[in-house]
Amino acid sequence: MSELIVNTKPRSAFSEAIKTVRTNLLFSHMGKELKIVLISSAKPGEGKSFIAANLAVAFAQNEKEVLIIDCDLRRGRQHKIFNVKNDRRFGFSNLLIEPEPKLERYIKQTEIENVYLLPVGATPPNPSELLGMEKTKILLERLKRNFDIIILDCPPVLGLNDTLMMTKYSDANCIVVSANDTKTDELERVKKSFEKVDAKVTGVILNNIEQQDNAYHDYYSSYLEE
């Protein structure tokens, strides 16, 4: 079953909720640049990659050229969601250490119109240090000239510095929380972690809400401006 529900079921309640997130992000940045959207979570298993992928599709349906970058250098799975090969020679981690990279060798066009993917690549021994390099900034500035929206699928915040490194480059930071799983104190710790690096949590997306009239867990999202 495809995880890209915004593509396969564009009129579903979930798809409408994701489009609301998209709209709220755009309106919250009226008059300001919105090029890079960071998606993360407090801990693993809260659905941040699932939400990031569907948000990318939603922006593409709004006639945006979208690039989703798998920044989860430890456990990236965007290539699985989009059914794209993760070549361990030509991924995001490899791109960051390549002296003069040719972007067309790394960026993959997905089956979804206007959605492109930069897969995770090889797993490096030092993800935080790699993401914090000056070259990351240079690369993102280059990519911003080629795409309308860039979505960063980042690792969970708690216990890792990887995502905090990437807040230096993002225009909006969204945290995915899982209903009946994510604790209030965990979300508060995420907020404090962002504050320590002078970053702000732009919004919270609620995931894993159970519908009583369905035999499975459907997904909704809620965007909360601060």
Q: Read off the amino acid at residue 221.
A: S
Give all domains of the chain, ordered by start, each with its CATH number.
5-207 (3.40.50.300)
Structure tokens at 196: 């320590």
pLDDT given at position 210: 65
The CA distance from 155 to 38, in Å, is: 10
225: pLDDT strictly greater than 80: no
| Cα 134 off chain centre by | 21
pTM of the prediction?
0.90
The CA distance from 134 to 136, in Å, is: 5
For 43-89, the pLDDT digits (tens) are 999 999 999 999 999 999 999 999 999 999 999 999 999 999 998 89
The CA distance from 52 to 49, in Å, is: 5
pLDDT given at position 211: 53
Q: Read off the amino acid at residue 169.
A: Y
Question: What mean pLDDT comes out for the span 174-195?
Answer: 91
For 18-30, the pLDDT digits (tens) are 999 999 999 888 8
The residue among 224 and 20 whose pLDDT is bigger is 20
- Around 16, how many Cα atoms within 13 Å sit in the side-chain half-sphere? 3
pLDDT given at position 181: 84
- The lowest-confidence range among 59-68, 138-147, 205-214 is 205-214
